[in-house]
Amino acid sequence: MNQNYIIPNEWSIIEEGFDPQHIKSSESIFSIGNGAMGQRANFEENYSGDTFQGSYIAGVYYPDKTRVGWWKNGYPEYFAKVLNAPNWIGIHVTVNGEELDLNTCKSISKFRRELNMKEGWLSRSFEAKLQNGTHIEVKSIRFLSLALDEVGAISYSVTPINSAAEIQFAPYIDAGITNEDSNWDDQFWNIEEIKQKEDASFIVAKTMKTHFYTCTFMKSHLYKNGQEIKSAIKHNQSENKITSSYTISVQPNDTATLQKFGGYVVDRNHPKNELGAAAMNVIEKATSFGFDNLLELQKEEWSKIWSMADITIDGDVKAQQGIRFNIFQLNQTYLGKDANLNIGPKGFTGEKYGGSTYWDTEAYCIPFYMATKDQEVARKLLEYRYRHLDKAIENAGKLGFSNGAALYPMVTMNGEECHNEWEITFEEIHRNGAIAFAIYNYERYTQDYSYIPEKGLEVLIGIARFWHQRANFSTNQNKYVILGVTGPNEYENNVNNNWYTNYSAQWCINYALECIDYVKINHISDYIRIKQKTNFTDEELGAWKKVSDTMYFPYSEEHNVFLQQDGFLDKELITVADLDQKQRPINQHWSWDRILRSPYIKQADVLQGFYFFEDHFSVEELERHFDFYEPFTVHESSLSPCVHSVQAAKLGRMEQAYIFYLRTSRLDLDDYNHEVHEGLHITSMAGTWMSIVEGFGGMRVKDGILSFTPQIPSQWKGFSFKINFRNQILKVNVCQGHTHFELDNGDELTILVNNKPVVVSPNKLVTV
Amino acid sequence: MNQNYIIPNEWSIIEEGFDPQHIKSSESIFSIGNGAMGQRANFEENYSGDTFQGSYIAGVYYPDKTRVGWWKNGYPEYFAKVLNAPNWIGIHVTVNGEELDLNTCKSISKFRRELNMKEGWLSRSFEAKLQNGTHIEVKSIRFLSLALDEVGAISYSVTPINSAAEIQFAPYIDAGITNEDSNWDDQFWNIEEIKQKEDASFIVAKTMKTHFYTCTFMKSHLYKNGQEIKSAIKHNQSENKITSSYTISVQPNDTATLQKFGGYVVDRNHPKNELGAAAMNVIEKATSFGFDNLLELQKEEWSKIWSMADITIDGDVKAQQGIRFNIFQLNQTYLGKDANLNIGPKGFTGEKYGGSTYWDTEAYCIPFYMATKDQEVARKLLEYRYRHLDKAIENAGKLGFSNGAALYPMVTMNGEECHNEWEITFEEIHRNGAIAFAIYNYERYTQDYSYIPEKGLEVLIGIARFWHQRANFSTNQNKYVILGVTGPNEYENNVNNNWYTNYSAQWCINYALECIDYVKINHISDYIRIKQKTNFTDEELGAWKKVSDTMYFPYSEEHNVFLQQDGFLDKELITVADLDQKQRPINQHWSWDRILRSPYIKQADVLQGFYFFEDHFSVEELERHFDFYEPFTVHESSLSPCVHSVQAAKLGRMEQAYIFYLRTSRLDLDDYNHEVHEGLHITSMAGTWMSIVEGFGGMRVKDGILSFTPQIPSQWKGFSFKINFRNQILKVNVCQGHTHFELDNGDELTILVNNKPVVVSPNKLVTV
């Protein structure tokens, strides 16, 4: 744990007291978003101290020219960057001629921030003594509307305490912004139009190269003690910024408030030559609601989200705060409204990892969205990959594959690969497996087979073709092998026969063949269409099957375990427990070659396979592999502890499971990895949810039946979660000694609890 | 072959006819150098067409900030760049008011360049019709003096043919130059002083960061039909350039000639605050000799070099031209005068590979310098590494090694690592083996053991310590293994147990132990000094020995060969002959992962080990390994064909040996790799020498005795070479059917010819 200043609270994230050292961390933690846009918790007023300004629009990125030491054939030309978008939250605040700036005040007291997760708003309040002696109280509240997702709202109040004061609010929009993360310090935005109309302001800007057009807008209203004041507004316009000034004189304890609406409209949703009109339309709608009504709507929308997604933990406030923070941030990042969007590893809270889509979505996020949203949302996430199938085929083509073989990109914004370390981009091909597995997982959970004939099967065929071509027959092993890969454990590069990759490849081929057979019998017209489109032949399917049937898997007779890859046992097998703790995390202390030749595992690799394909292995096999690999695992990926927590729970090792859970649930709040200032670990938050629902709750779907094996950490009195299972909401409440199940509507549902059938009827509590 | 315009000639490189497409290639091929400086064959007069301007000073480099995609611990902060130095060759030539520029003339005829390798000068002549109608003949001759290695000389003549002409020569020095190869477009030079004195000009500039001070200078003299003219000289000075103008009016067929001396003095040889005086001193010396005498001296110096280093080939002019070109360029690059200098892969002919020192020096260049120069030269090259031992220990420390373990850098200017691909920098550790082997090779050839107690042993101890720590005991193999390396074949990365690396490691330890024993008995005071300095103990030596005694080597029972690395046989073993020829060279057609998982070998790897350690293996073993690996070798490194040529000759496969020889000897003249415009492949030129002397000549030192097994390609009538063996020059002249040996001085020498002793007496031809 690297920080401990967040005040425990069941529903809110709270910071009290002003500490400049916490600014960048809090800017990440208190981030707000509504799926369409998001922003770090930067102050509205000017702040001259150390800060990381960030405001981001979903789907707006920049193809930053790749930077490498030595170019290699096949490298993508660019690395997509999430773009810092024009700032619309800014308000210059001047009190008796002095600009408010928390970095230059004489003193600050009663500083408090609250991110209210239940209702979806961010507030801040403090008292400040300015250099000119004026003593003021400031309160602000801000939210990004879920109801009108192109708009955000700010209410910013100043109350002079010791004297009358002339207060000037100068809200602005500013397109003169830069990225923290940029390869060549290129200019990313080009300003197309900057204008002011009916006291509203607009800047139309387009991104360089990608030519995304956006209109950033604002309109403000001034109030004195709650009464709107129609003061003279002065507008000021420079090359890339518009400022409007509102001046008011108030007596001591009078409150001057500026309410500001602002946000973005983008050409993904509107014709690019009508962005100004669209923005004006949004402003009018927001103004007609008014700040208070819009805030009420916000609370309603969040209430709906929580009604399906909430997890309660009884008897552990920090754990409760942690899990709600994870669920809240996931929902701020992606709500499933737009199949063009996806889930970036840092959401809207920072710029690292380019804001792009990784295999994290399929491997970690889909279970969460599938169980806490309408199942259309998970389907949209699958469709995202279907829409990128042509690009995945093109990508595989660049690496020498043919005949419709598809390799999905490691990192992408639009289906094109945009990562450029050869050992990742070219070799971390197991991502294809997770993308196929997500299709299976969706079908298993929802029983919505329709996705497969409609779209999924084409993806599965492209992926099966890739594996068929990527494996080669080794006369030496008399088996098919897969050489030169990087598995999920990125602390190994360019290894031969990574067990997880080989196993995924085999499974992908088998699943594709199975789906082809099923679609042929049950969806004949889709079958004919797909067969014509993809031109597969029986001969080809036979060739796939040969690869799958004779796939090689590295195995140790001595340890009776599958080996993570060929040669793993040649390493110096010193467990993490016996490693000098001063050397940890090894990625901050060791050179890359030393990490690579060590036995240390960054994140679940063989165990990731046991997680995906758990039905293929006995509990004894899991235990053996867990006991063999976990001692070498350093968990230096945020995606590692969750899988281990689920597996430990399955093995009935609840103490160990709980320790892994703690590590994932408050990773950012307590800043375990000392990097929260860069942004939050959004995709691993879905892993936290997994630890509770699949780990402690033991939720699975077995032969089409929903199943639970509830367990509870001894530290907790109880915990509950809700899931949407095939359009019915089931609430599961696990207590020490028993579990309650409750169904909200529909037909009765037979579930398995500890492998015994239990019938749950709507609105009737069942206790097991 | 990508070009075929160089005119075959035994002693000269000749180009006839002006073709702008050849400019950059010819700028590389016609490069001149004198060990202390060098330059591409840029025109003296202005040329507005496509050109790559380059002038380089030995040992003057710039630590260009490293560029990588993702930073990894241990990466060096900088990548050293050879620096394009201020231009001193430039002469603006104006004829009747029009500036001469071959890119804008009306017509050009009789264009001819000659690089006279026998005498060490570059000439150029042509006739040009200017846009203003003037028809002129131009002749220039240029050389970098071996006798005074800080100075170069140009004689530049213009003769109007059809009319009288006013000719203006405006020689200049220009420090406003940039690098072709630069990561961040930084400015590399800072100008300290720019001045003109006694008709000579000086620019003192220092490199940024490294603070190398250089003074670039020039002084010119004007002649008419060979008579010096004292005309009024106008000097013109800008921020980074000084120009002097000489104007003369001449009648048709009168010749106006400018003779220009120029060059550099550097603070490696002079106090930095006396560079101006040093430059003036050089100018005075050069002027006192005069152009013609300096040129005579040049011929003498080159005559001395050839008397020791020449190889003649009878009956094949192109082969003769090729081998002399190789020998000539090696001598232009490095003459062994300065232990601070070394041999960059492109010498003074381009900027790629940063002009730095690679393992090429030890693996390929030392045999050439050892046999064609005084043995002090090879010793200086060894000392270069001794002087860098502390930095090698520091470098190993950065990668986690301790106790004086030394890892020499992959690429260096001053002993620090300056390359940043992890798979090379951190993993291509076999370079340590070549550096140790060079010490052995020197001792074997010269019988000068003194280097080992004086310096070499400390290097060997540091290297042995590295291998001891870098290997780890595998309980699985019950042997020591070396994991995560890149061997000489860079088409494999991060492999386990590269046979060549493991074998080198074992040999290094054994040789270090052997030398410690020998020094202990024969050089006791050195032994005591070294033991105190390095603190080795008997226990430590025992630990090394354990590693060496139980080293693991990958081996195939089936093929009865050592495997290049673990898992090599799992590859799809399609030979190069069966590879689609359109896919070649694979490094231009395949993505990196495809190259890595293929069986294709970039350059000799196992066979490199059989080359170094040939006494350890029988001819049958060599044959088996050659037949196994050569079919997979694509020779996409310039360093590959030479080793294969030597091995094929050893196996008596002269046709194959000859094909490999051809590929290496005219690599640049015929531009096999389509990259000669970037510069020449200097270090592989030593491999060409090796192919003849060690390959066809079969030269070895066996148990201290010089030995030959002469063979001759059927295409040749004969070939001869000279070697300096322990301060005696032996000439070997191989003809079809017999070989002549002749010794120049000293005692009689017993050599082995085809394993039979032959006594060679001074100045007495022996025919075998």
CA gap A220, A753 in Å, rounded: 56
**% of chain A at pLDDT higher than 70:** 98
One-letter amino acid of A656? Q
In degrees to the nearest 10, what's the CA dihedral of A606, A611, A617, A621? 60
Predicted local distance difference test score (pLDDT) of residue B181? 66
Residue-wise pLDDT for B311-344, tens only, equals 999 999 999 999 999 999 999 999 988 888 899 8
pLDDT (average), residues B601-628: 98
ipTM: 0.90
Which of A185, A570, A636 best tests the B interface by mutation, with the highest count of B CBs <10 A? Answer: A570
Residue A720 β-bridge partners: A312, A733
Q: Which of B428, B592, B595 to mutate to test the interface with A (most CBs of A within 10 A)?
A: B592
Interface check B550 vs A, CB under 8 A: no
Nearest CA in chain B to A425: B593
B residues 159..198 contacting A (CB < 8 A): none
The one catalytic residue among A416, A417, A458, A490: A490
Q: Which residues pair with B13 in a beta bridge?
A: B115
Strand partners for B205: B191, B214
d(CA B453, CA B522) in angstroms, rounded, equals: 9
Q: What b/e string do you get for B534-565 counting C-beta neighbours within 10 Å, with b at 16 or more?
A: bebeeebbeebeebbebbbebeeeebebbbbb
Banded pLDDT at B674 (limits 50, 70, 90): confident
Closest Cβ opposite residue B592 in set A426, A477, A497: A426
Are B422 and A592 in contact (CB < 8 Å)?
yes
Output the six-digit token pair for B588.
Answer: 């231009």
Is the predicted pLDDT of residue B620 greater than 90, yes or no? Answer: yes
**Any long-range contacts for A546-551 (C-beta under 8 Å, 24+ apart)?**
A546/A480, A547/A467, A547/A468, A547/A471, A547/A480, A547/A505, A547/A506, A547/A509, A548/A505, A548/A506, A548/A509, A548/A510, A548/A513, A550/A473, A550/A478, A550/A479, A550/A480, A551/A471, A551/A479, A551/A480, A551/A502, A551/A503, A551/A505, A551/A506
Is residue B210 less than 8 Å (CB to CB) from chain A?
A: no
CB contact under 8 A, B571 and A474: yes
pLDDT digits 0-9 by tens, B77-110: 777 778 889 999 999 999 999 999 999 999 999 9
| Chain B residues close to A496, C-beta within 8 Å | 567, 570
Q: Which of B66, B424, B498, B591 to mutate to test binding with chain A, by most A CBs within 10 Å of its CB? A: B591
The string of DSSP codes covering A512-523 is HHHHHHHHHHH-
Residues 9-68 of A with CB under 8 A from B: 66-68
Which of A66, A417, A494 has the most B C-beta neighbours within 10 Å, making it the best mutation to test the interface with B?
Answer: A494
> Which of A494, A566, A594 comes nearest B493 by C-beta?
A494
- Which parts of B557-678 are beta strand (E)? 561-562
For testing contact with chain B, the best of A593, A595, A636 (most B CBs within 10 A): A593
Contact A72 B592 (CB under 8 A): yes
Cβ contacts (< 8 Å) between A483 and chain B: which residues?
567, 570-571, 596-597
Least confident of A366-375, B56-65, B355-364: B56-65
Q: What is the pLDDT of residue A694?
A: 98
- Nearest CA distance, A422 vs chain B (angstrom): 7
pLDDT of residue B180: 67
Alpha-carbon distance A455 to A379, whole Å? 10
Instruction: Average the pLDDT over each of A240-249, B126-135, B186-195, B365-374 and give the range with the smallest value.
Output: B186-195
For the beta carbon of residue A178, count every other beta carbon within 10 angstroms. 12
Tell me the pLDDT band of A351, cut-offs 50, 70 and 90: confident
Judge whether B447 and B474 are in contact, CB under 8 Å.
no
Angle of helix B457-470 relative to helix B524-534, nearest 10 degrees? Answer: 40
CA distance A150 to A147: 9
Rounded to a whole number of angstroms, the distance from the CA of A567 to the nearest CA of chain B is 8
B476 and A569: CB-CB below 8 Å? yes
Instruction: Say what the pLDDT of residue B488 is.
Output: 98
pLDDT of B565 above 90: yes
Q: How many Å apart are CA B29 and CA B115, to the nearest integer?
A: 9
Q: What is the C-alpha separation between B406 and B412, in angstroms, rounded?
A: 14
Rounded (to 5) percent helix, strand, coil in chain A: 35, 25, 40
- On whether any CB of chain A is under 8 Å from the CB of B402, the answer is no
- Identify the pLDDT of residue B73: 78
Q: What is the pLDDT of residue B763?
A: 87
Q: What is the pLDDT of residues A639-678, one digit of tens each?
A: 999 999 999 999 999 999 999 998 889 999 999 878 899 9
Query: How confident is the model at residue A165, as a pLDDT?
Result: 97
User: Above 70 in pLDDT, residue A1?
Assistant: no
Instruction: Measure the CA dihedral B666/B667/B673/B676, to 10°.
Output: -90
pLDDT at position A185:
63
- If one compares A334 and B77, the residue with the highest pLDDT of the two is A334
b/e per residue A326-360 (b: at least 16 CB within 10 A): bbbbbbbbbbbbbbebbbbbbbbbbbebbbbbbbb
In Å, how far is A467's CA from the nearest CA of chain B? 14
Spatial distance between the Cα atoms of B327 and B685, rounded to a whole number of angstroms: 7
A69 and B67 within 8 Å at the Cβ level: the answer is: yes
CB contact, 8 Å: B427 with chain A? yes
**B529 pLDDT band (50/70/90 cuts)?**
very high
Give just the sign of the alpha carbon dihedral A84, A88, A93, A97. positive
Using the Cβ of A400 and the Cβ atoms of chain B, whether some distance falls under 8 Å is answered with yes
H or E segment and range at residue A714: none
Q: Which residues of A touch B420 (CB under 8 A)?
A: 69
Closest residue in B to A353 (Cα) is B70
CA distances to A444, B151, B201 from B215, rounded to whole Å, are 77, 12, 10
Cβ distance B69 to A426 less than 8 Å, yes or no, reads no
* Chain A contact present for B764, CB below 8 A: no
Q: Return the SS3 of A159.
A: strand
- pLDDT tens, position by position, B384-405: 999 999 999 999 999 999 999 9
pTM of the model: 0.93
CB contact set of B273 (below 8 Å; sequence gap of 6+): none
Q: Is the pLDDT at A147 greater than 70, yes or no?
A: yes
Task: Name the percent of chain B lying above pLDDT 90.
Answer: 87
Annotated active-site residue in B428, B490, B630, B694: B490
Span B411-444, pLDDT tens digits? 998 899 988 889 999 999 999 999 999 999 999 9
Q: Is the pLDDT of residue A402 over 70?
A: yes
| B545: amino acid identity, one letter | K
Here the tokens at position B426 are 């951190």
Residue contact B591–A399, C-beta within 8 A: yes
CA dihedral defined by B218, B221, B226, B231, rounded to 10 degrees? 160
For the segment B479-504, the average pLDDT, to the nearest whole number, is 98
Cβ neighbourhood burial of B325 (10 Å; 0-12, 13-18, 19+):
buried
Task: Please check whether residue A494 touches B, CB under 8 A.
Answer: yes
Q: How far is A359 from chain B (nearest CA, A)?
A: 19
- Give dist(CA B342, CA B348) in Å, integer: 12
* d(C-alpha B116, C-alpha A107), whole Å: 81
Active site residue A678: no
pLDDT(A269) > 70 = yes
Under DSSP, is residue B373 helix (H, G, I), strand (E, B) or coil?
A: coil
pLDDT score at B1: 63
pLDDT tens sequence across A37-70? 999 999 999 999 999 999 999 988 887 777 766 7
Distance CA A144, CA A332 (A): 9
The alpha carbon of residue A423 is apart from the nearest alpha carbon of chain B, in Å, by: 8
d(CA A92, CA B602): 63
CA angle B309, B315, B317 (to 5 degrees): 65
Contact A767, A739 (CB under 8 A): yes
Res B691 pLDDT > 80: yes
**Nearest-neighbour CA in chain B from A551: distance (Å):** 13
The predicted model gives A461-477 an average pLDDT of 97
Confidence of residue A374 (pLDDT cuts 50, 70, 90): very high
Check residue B188 and give its pLDDT. 83
Task: Place A763 in a pLDDT band, splitting at 50, 70 and 90.
Answer: confident
A594, B399: Cβ pair inside 8 Å?
yes
The answer to whether residue B591 scores a pLDDT higher than 80 is yes
Mean pLDDT of A618-641: 96
How many residue pairs from chains A and B have C-beta atoms closer than 8 A?
A: 136
Would you say B339 and B387 are in contact if contact means Cβ atoms under 8 Å apart? yes
DSSP secondary structure letters along A527-539 = HHHHHHHH---HH
For the stretch B716-748, pLDDT in tens is 999 999 999 999 999 999 999 999 999 998 899
Q: For B495-516, write each residue's pLDDT tens digit.
A: 999 999 999 999 999 999 999 9
- Whether pLDDT at A623 is above 90: yes
Q: Do B73 and A493 touch (CB under 8 A)?
A: no
Cβ <8 Å between B472 and A571:
yes
Q: The dihedral of CA B438, B57, B42, B16: what is its sign?
A: negative
Six token digits for residue A336? 């499933």
Tell me if A591 and B398 make a contact (CB, 8 A cut-off).
yes
Sheet architecture: strand order including A705-708: A700-702, A705-708, A749-753, A756-760
Count Cβ neighbours within 10 Å for each residue of A395-424 and write b for 16 or more, e otherwise.
bbebbbbebbbbbbbbbbbbbbbbbbbbbb
pLDDT band for A79, please (50, 70, 90 cuts): confident
Whose CA is closest to A505, among A564, A569, A435? A435
- Check residue B326 and give its pLDDT: 97
Q: Looking at residues B291-316, what average pLDDT do you find?
A: 96
| pLDDT bucket at A113, cuts 50 / 70 / 90 | very high
- State residue B79's pLDDT score: 76
Does any CB of chain A come closer than 8 Å to the CB of residue B737?
no
Q: Give the DSSP H or E segment for A647.
A: helix A640-650
* Residue A87 tokens, joined: 């700032």
| pLDDT of amino acid A75 | 76
pLDDT, chain B, mean: 95
The shortest CB-CB distance from B494 to any of A477, A494, A566 is to: A494
Q: Do A67 and B66 touch (CB under 8 A)?
A: no
pLDDT tens-digit profile of B38-65? 999 999 999 999 999 999 999 888 877 7
Set of chain A residues whose Cβ sits within 8 Å of the Cβ of B472: 571-572, 597
d(CA B510, CA B523) in angstroms, rounded, equals 19
How far out from the chain centre does Cα A77 lie?
A: 25
3-state secondary structure of B527: helix
Residues 555-614 of B with CB under 8 A from A: 558, 566-567, 569-573, 587-594, 596-597
